[in-house]
Amino acid sequence: MKINNINRKLIKNGILLENSLSELAGKNKELIEKNIKQKQTEVKLAEAKKAAEKANYAKSGFLANMSHELRTPLNGIVGFAEILKDMETDTAKLEYLDIMKESSSHLLSLVNDVLSLSKIEAGKEEVIKKDVDFYSLIKNIEGIFKQQIINRRLELIVEYDETIPRIMLADRTKLLQILNNLISNSIKFTHEGYIKLTVKDITAEENTNKTIEFSVIDTGIGINEEKQKRLYEPFEQGEHYMKKTYGGSGLGLAIVKKLVDLMNGEIEIKTQTGKGTQITIRLPLESVNEMGIEVKEEKLDFKRSFKILSADDNKVSQALLKVIAHKENWNLKSVSNGKELLEELGKNSYDLILMDIQMPVMDGLEATKLIRENKKHDKLPIIAVSAFALEEDIENTLKAGINGYVTKPLTTEQLKEVVFSTMRQEIN
């Protein structure tokens, strides 16, 4: 009897153990399946992230290449329109040339905006601070919009605080982009009256860390409350694209907001429908020692007989440089790639090289590397004249041993400024 009881208990315990093991196996199976699913999810997320990064890289590369390809023909349009304007006296033709210049400038601003937005969204946009002549920067703004203001029969008023230090540590490119977008918007939406740009120092106390306030005020159509809620959204302009009254991509204020945030600043909008808009930007900037500013302002044309060797595979760019060189009395020789440039350097001596970056056979960076390795030419000034406009491209080019950089489309004044400043440094 006792044995039977023991057997029954053993059988019962065995059944319980079997059930427990079965339950444990079921739980282990669920846990294993859960872990497998989690691993699969992690793999899928990693693959999706990798694919997104690859797509983003491809998009950035595509936009950078498109920027380059658009800037190259624009170089011919902007450059030769400027050359013709200096030669022309007929009023009607001058008006047509102004239209060409304004249209090409508008196209260039769209290219810059799309490229900037892509870089900002990819987290690649950086603030690169350098010494900026603030007064000259604002004067440059006046020059950029002078013809547009005349054509629209508007008035551009600039109020500049003379107490602002002349030289500030700032990102000049981004400052210009912010102001260009704001003033372009004001001109676009103002039919009569004025656009006013005020620049003032609102720093609480005297120190090198400044807060500079930029306000763009217009007497335009204003912005209603509903549209104000979406102003900083990319491609948002308050109109359906099929019913657009005003041109533009709708990127202007979206880029301004992102650039201001990137520079640790703030933006404020005051607007009233039918009465105008005021957009105020406040940016933290730093003043620097103003020693040497007189040297920067000296007359640039201290020497005019430069012997220049230019490498560029684009025939239009070559032709434009030849016209500018002839106008400035420079002696210019053109070749089509880096290999031809090195061969010419082996035969003749030059004061300066103008170097395109993207060229067949041998590109500009490879040619620069070989020039710098040659003791006969290692100090020869080289200026890049390129359609690559990304800041990292410019920085990488300068690190490769190039002394200066001019972005296409170029103007005579831009090229002269870089040529003279580069040659002045060489002489000094």
The least confident of 197-211, 284-298, 375-389 is 284-298
Q: If you ran DSSP here, which 8-state letter would residue 157 be given?
A: E
Q: Say what the pLDDT of residue 315 is.
A: 93
Residue 388 has pLDDT above 70, yes or no: yes
Backbone angles phi, psi at 307, to 5 degrees: -105, 110
**pLDDT value, residue 13:** 62
Q: Which residue has the higher pLDDT, 311 or 89?
A: 311
Cα 63–Cα 64–Cα 70 angle in degrees, nearest 5: 85
Q: Which of 293, 324, 349 is the last residue before a domain boundary?
A: 293
**191-216 mean pLDDT:** 88
pLDDT band at 369 (very low <50, low <70, confident <90, very high): very high
Boundary residue ending a domain (259, 293, 327) = 293
Handedness of CA 48, 51, 56, 59 (dihedral sign): negative
pLDDT score at 366: 94
Whether 282 and 339 map to the same domain: the answer is no
- pLDDT at residue 326 above 70? yes
Residue by residue, DSSP assigns 213-245 as EEEEEE-S----HHHHTTTTSTT--SS-GGG-S
pLDDT of residue 389: 76
**pLDDT for residue 180:** 86
Decide if pLDDT at 203 tops 80.
yes
Same domain, 144 and 221: yes
| Predicted pLDDT of residue 336 | 95
pLDDT score for 298? 44
Structure tokens at 134: 């603030």
Query: What is the arithmetic mean of pLDDT over 240-256?
Result: 58
pLDDT of 295 over the 50 cut: no
**Between 112 and 163, the higher pLDDT residue:** 163
**Residues 243, 317 within the same domain:** no
Number of domains in the chain: 2
Rounded distance between C-alpha atoms, residue 338 and residue 365, angstroms: 9
Name which of 69-83, 85-99, 104-118, 184-198 the model is least confident about. 104-118
398: domain CATH number is 3.40.50.2300
pLDDT at residue 279, rounded to an integer: 93
Q: How confident is the model at residue 87 (pLDDT cuts 50, 70, 90)?
A: confident
The pLDDT, as a whole number, for residue 91 is: 86
* Cα-based distances in Å from 398 to 2, 169, 368: 97, 20, 10
Residue 57 in any domain: the answer is: no
Residue 242 has pLDDT above 50, yes or no: no
d(CA 379, CA 125): 32
Same domain, 325 and 288: no
* Average pLDDT over the chain, rounded to an integer: 81
Give yes or no: residues 213 and 307 share one domain: no
**Residue 268 sits in the same domain as residue 307:** no
Residues 136 and 261 in one domain: yes
What are the residues whose beta carbons fall under 8 Å from the beta carbon of 279, sequence distance 6 or more? 182, 215, 216, 256, 267, 268, 269
Of residues 225, 359, 208, the one with CA closest to residue 284: 208
CATH code of the domain containing 194:
3.30.565.10
Band the pLDDT of 402: cuts 50, 70, 90.
Answer: very high
Tell me the pLDDT band of 292, cut-offs 50, 70 and 90: very low
pLDDT higher for 228 or 253?
253
First-to-final CA distance of the chain: 117
Computed from CA positions of residues 160, 145, 133, 260, in that sequence, does the dihedral angle turn out positive or negative?
A: positive
Do 342 and 406 fall into the same domain? yes
Highest mean pLDDT among 50-54, 271-275, 338-342, 407-411: 338-342
**Which of 15-29, 158-172, 346-360, 366-380 is the least confident region?**
15-29
Give 15-36 as a 3 state SS string: HHHHHHHHHHHHHHHHHHHHHH
- What range does the domain containing 239 cover? 126-293
2-6, 204-208, 389-393, range with the lowest pLDDT: 2-6
Q: Which of 273, 293, 313 is the last residue of a domain?
A: 293
The percentage of the chain sitting over the pLDDT mark of 90, rounded to a whole number, equals 28
Structural domain contains residue 210: yes
* Mean pLDDT of all residues in 18-32: 69
Task: Say if 56 falls within a structural domain.
Answer: no
At residue 381, the pLDDT reads 94
Are 387 and 75 within 8 A, CB to CB? yes
Mark residue 128 as left, alpha or beta (left: phi above 0; alpha: psi -120 to 50; beta: remaining): beta
Whether residue 354 is found in the same domain as residue 221: no
Do 320 and 263 fall within a single domain? no
